[in-house]
Structure 1
Amino acid sequence: MTITLIIILCLLILVAYAFDLSSKHTKIPTVIIMLIMGFSIHQGINFFEIKIPNLDLMLPVIGTIGLILIVLEAGLDLELNKNKKKVITSSFFSALIPLVFLLLIFGFAINYFTNQGVMISLLNAVPFCIISSAIAIPSVQNLSSSKKEFVVYESSMSDIFGVILFNFFLTNETIGVGSFFTFFIQILIMLVISLVASLGLSLLIKKIDHHVKFIPIMVMIILVYALAKIYHLPALLFILIFGLFLNNLDELKGFRFIKKLNPEKLNLEVREFAKLIAEVSFLVRTLFFILFGYTITSDVLLNSETLPFAFGIIAVIILARVIQLKVLKIELAPLLFVAPRGLVTIMLFISIPLSKSINFINSSLIIQVIILSAVVMMLGLMFNKTKAEKTL
């Protein structure tokens, strides 16, 4: 049985990799293939009555590690300089404004239909408002460099803003001066921790000459994230800052302490580190979505009670995206369709405590929204006509 499971796991990863390679031609998001594979495995296991241990407990662990790696990978890919000022500004507002807009709409709707409190309604609305960088970034690899860059910045910022807002609503019972003050202090504390930890970890990358050096660094990154989460700090902010710090050493050469890190030598190490992060991120992301697909049942997927609401949520998301792109004067196609929900949506949903959960916001609705948003993106990318690249 052990060897059989190893063979199956290896084949699944190789199939996912093959689809990842071919996605630039087929324009089918790899996440859909992985969900189908996981779902099919579950159906096969049920059909042949094979006994498998409960895997549900692994989902939050793999998902958390996946989220850390995805944001770190994005940070290691983002450049902060004057040439990027326009795309960073447009991405910032493109991530923040629709997030707040959708949060207010979905929060009001949940409050109206369920009669729950405002904070609980907003908490349950956040997962639907965040663009998944785990799905968006791999799906736009065949777009023009400017559009791909925009999606990387936008989806990464959407992840960060969404998680920060989720933590705010999770840790506060009411909205007031006190809650905003506490929130502001938490951000400042996390910024200080992020800068200190980034300098310390960068120094370790430079100093360690052992043949095993990047895995301990990755473990320390996850450890800092976990410790920050214990104290309800916006831990994902550290991951992004660390990635940005490493990828933009050349922009920081004017600072004396940066010169001591020997940026020229450190940049070579960072390139190798970024390659490892990309490899591990792919593996963890693949395992997560296959496992998530495995947990999906036919009853949950085809729940007719939640399906109309799932379509309604997708319609509102697309409408908000049309307004957003028009206001920012960005070409609609194909970015209009690149607003998938995915890993962060799942992670935030399963992080909602039972005392603050709403029966209406269930796994059926979450899964249907994720799949529908991925299908919309797939169709939008498939039928998008190739046009000359435009500067955003």
Structure 2
Amino acid sequence: MSTYITLIILSGLVICSYMFELLASKTRLPSVLLLLFLGIGLQQAFTYFHIQTFNFQSVLPALGTIGLILIVFEGSLELRYESHKNRLISRSFLSALIILLATTTAIAIIIQHFSGYNFYVCFTNAIPLSIISSAIAIPSASGLDKQKKEFIVYESSFSDILGIIAFNFAINNRNITFSSFTRLGAEIVLILVISVISCLLLLYLMGRIGHHIKFFLIISILILVYALGQKYHLSALIIILAFGLFLNNADKIRIPLFRKVFLYSHLPKDLVQLLQLSAESAFIIRTFFFVIFGFTMSVSDLGQIELLMQGVIILFAVYMIRFIYLKFVARGDVFPEVFISPRGLISILLYYNLPAYLQIEEVGKGLLFVIILLSSIIMSIGLLLTRKRTPV
């Protein structure tokens, strides 16, 4: 393809994604679902016209990681802490933790049934399929009332973080002993210490950088810290969530020394600009990630009855566990929260990080694609039905 054709396609994708966002705000149909179908359509068009492309799968992990960082950061920048929200935060954390553990166990049993692998391998493969995708859940919750939206932001972010912790723990501990948990505790303490230091350092830099270009520098440092943490199997997504929460709530800290050294007069204005920059950057990255993911999928997988049945069984377990927990354990709102349990970006990232010796042939990209697609469709239908039930 010529340079101009490439530019036309790239700009066209961004325009389509923007139109999808507008459509999503009116219908609650997730734009991610439309982006996946757009990618599939482009794949068919490229195949029909015999257009040569390169291996897009090589860029998916990097795009997805940046997208995850930006989306979680954007969501956390919008969260304002109040003491009365302690119950909301604890409820969302428990929801993410208990549902993640229960869902992973259930999916592991299902995978073991149709694959025959031992439970450890099945459990590790089940983790990516058990995590709520904040990349899809957070934008999809934008039309909900404030409390429900904040619950989804916290829950999906906690689900991502806890899922990454569980995934790293599983692949690094084939034989779980007491020392495995002590090492996990030490790693969590370490990442919390790094989070505090990073938050203070980045806020200090924001107040001291006089150059008109500084927000991309801050985001680049965040990505660097995240990558270094993940390189050493630390759950560095905690840093991203902590920094966003810290920035948006720094003015609540009443320590005189802190206010003198770290707070500055232009912080509120900088927060607005940083939020806008992260939101628009996340929009671009999310657009290309899901279009490319749809482009690299095999449409023939959707015609495999056995694969579809496996996906349906897994999702039935996912939504049953979520419904039972929200209805009978948490005793909170069930609708539309029960439907907002999509799989997406984080599932794809962890799937690509599975070591070769832990990969199961039956749990391949085909099953992952089916679960992502069906969970997004279920969420869309659930949100549409809930909207119709909501009095105007």
1:112 CA drift (Å): 4.3
Q: Which residue, out of 321, 341, 344, partners 2:343?
A: 341
The 8 Å contact of residues 249 and 263 in structure 1, kept in 2 or not, is answered as no
Count of residue correspondences: 389
Report the AA paired with residue 241 of structure 1: A
Match of 1:365 in 2: 367
Q: Deviations over 1:268-305 (max 9, x none)?
A: 32221111111101110111001101101212333322
Distance 2:116 2:259 in 1: 54
Distance 1:193 1:265 in 2: 26
Listed as ranges, the matches of 1:164-203 within 5 Å are 164-203=165-204
Q: What SS does structure 2 have at the residue aligned with 1:305?
A: helix
Q: Deviations over 1:52-101 (max 9, x none)?
A: 12211011110111111111112212222202122112211111111111
1:388 CA drift (Å): 6.1
Distance 1:4 1:128 in 2: 37
Match of 2:332 in 1: 330
Q: Deviations over 1:283-332 (max 9, x none)?
A: 10111001101101212333322110100111111111111211222232
Unaligned runs of 5+ in 2: none
Q: What SS does structure 2 have at the residue aligned with 1:56?
A: helix
Distance 2:157 2:253 in 1: 22
Please say if 1:387 is aligned against 2:390.
yes
The 8 Å contact of residues 73 and 243 in structure 1, kept in 2 or not, is answered as yes
Distance 1:297 1:335 in 2: 31
Distance 1:320 1:344 in 2: 20
- Give the TM-score taking structure 2 as reference length: 0.95
The 8 Å contact of residues 66 and 284 in structure 1, kept in 2 or not, is answered as yes
Match of 1:352 in 2: 354
1:114 CA drift (Å): 3.1
Match of 2:270 in 1: 269
> Quick one: structure 1 residues 258 and 117, their matched pair in 2 at CA, closer, same or farther if it must change by over 3 Å?
farther
> Quick one: structure 1 residues 255 and 101, their matched pair in 2 at CA, closer, same or farther if it must change by over 3 Å?
farther
Distance 2:177 2:71 in 1: 33
1:264 CA drift (Å): 4.6
1:263 CA drift (Å): 5.2
Listed as ranges, the matches of 1:47-126 within 5 Å are 47-126=48-127
Q: What SS does structure 2 have at the residue aligned with 1:78?
A: coil
1:363 CA drift (Å): 0.8
Distance 2:129 2:7 in 1: 35
Match of 2:25 in 1: 24
Listed as ranges, the matches of 1:207-246 within 5 Å are 207-246=208-247
Q: Deviations over 1:103-148 (max 9, x none)?
A: 1112233334434333322110101111111111111222222211
Q: Deviations over 1:208-236 (max 9, x none)?
A: 01011111111111111111112111111
Report the AA paired with residue 343 of structure 2: R
Q: What SS does structure 2 have at the residue aligned with 1:361?
A: coil
The 8 Å contact of residues 110 and 314 in structure 2, kept in 1 or not, is answered as no
The 8 Å contact of residues 70 and 281 in structure 1, kept in 2 or not, is answered as yes
User: Considering only aligned residues, what root-mean-square deviation do their CA atoms show, in Å?
Assistant: 1.6
Distance 1:36 1:212 in 2: 36
The 8 Å contact of residues 123 and 169 in structure 1, kept in 2 or not, is answered as yes
Distance 2:53 2:112 in 1: 40
Distance 1:223 1:91 in 2: 28
The 8 Å contact of residues 131 and 155 in structure 1, kept in 2 or not, is answered as yes
The 8 Å contact of residues 130 and 158 in structure 1, kept in 2 or not, is answered as yes
Identity between Structure 1 and Structure 2 (%): 39
Report the AA paired with residue 192 of structure 2: L
Q: What SS does structure 2 have at the residue aligned with 1:140?
A: helix
Deviates more, 1:161-170 or 1:250-259: 250-259
Deviates more, 1:258-267 or 1:288-297: 258-267
Report the AA paired with residue 387 of structure 1: T
Report the AA paired with residue 302 of structure 2: L
1:255 CA drift (Å): 6.0
The 8 Å contact of residues 250 and 263 in structure 1, kept in 2 or not, is answered as no
Distance 2:28 2:229 in 1: 38
The 8 Å contact of residues 199 and 243 in structure 2, kept in 1 or not, is answered as yes
Q: What SS does structure 1 have at the residue aligned with 2:306?
A: coil
Distance 2:113 2:154 in 1: 34
Distance 2:183 2:42 in 1: 46
